């Protein structure tokens, strides 16, 4: 049961990432997020309390991804810059989400 809950949360975060990148926090619709995630809209409120809570979870997942995948070696700043560029290329929605944050 715990795996199903975690899988549901991850689907909601993935669907929320696309929705928030396209529409921002105020324009995002929980019914579209639920439909894309193949979940019940009530599950968004169960797991994240509200749309802002889901946005925070989306944001935190992206920040965590950056922290894990970005070497912070001040001795090799060109590598840091290259890796950051790769992250933005892998996640084009990141730049849009940053403007909404």
Question: In sequence order, what are the residues at sequence separation of 6 or more whose Cβ sits closer than 8 angstroms to the Cβ of residue 9?
Answer: 47, 57
Contact 93, 18 (CB under 8 A): yes
pLDDT mean across residues, the chain: 90
pLDDT digits (tens, 9 = 90+) for 73-83: 778 888 888 88
Show the domain range for 39. 2-100
- Per DSSP, 92 falls in state T
Rounded Cα–Cα distance for residues 40 and 35 (Å): 8
Domain CATH number, residue 16: 1.10.357.10
Confidence at residue 80, expressed as pLDDT on a 0 to 100 scale:
83
Confidence at residue 47, expressed as pLDDT on a 0 to 100 scale:
97
Confidence at residue 1, expressed as pLDDT on a 0 to 100 scale:
54
Residues of the chain with pLDDT under 70: 1-2, 100-101
pTM recorded for the entire structure: 0.82
Count structural domains, the chain.
Answer: 1
């Amino acid at each position: 049961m715990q795996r199903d809950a975690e899988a549901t949360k991850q689907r909601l975060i993935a669907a929320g990432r696309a929705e928030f990148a396209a529409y921002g926090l105020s324009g995002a619709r929980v019914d579209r997020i639920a439909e894309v995630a193949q979940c019940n809209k009530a599950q968004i409120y169960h797991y994240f309390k509200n749309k802002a809570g889901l946005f925070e979870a989306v944001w935190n997942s992206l920040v965590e991804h950056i922290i894990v995948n970005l070497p912070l070696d001040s001795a090799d700043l060109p590598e840091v810059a290259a890796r950051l560029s790769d992250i933005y290329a892998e996640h084009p929605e990141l730049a849009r989400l940053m403007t909404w944050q």
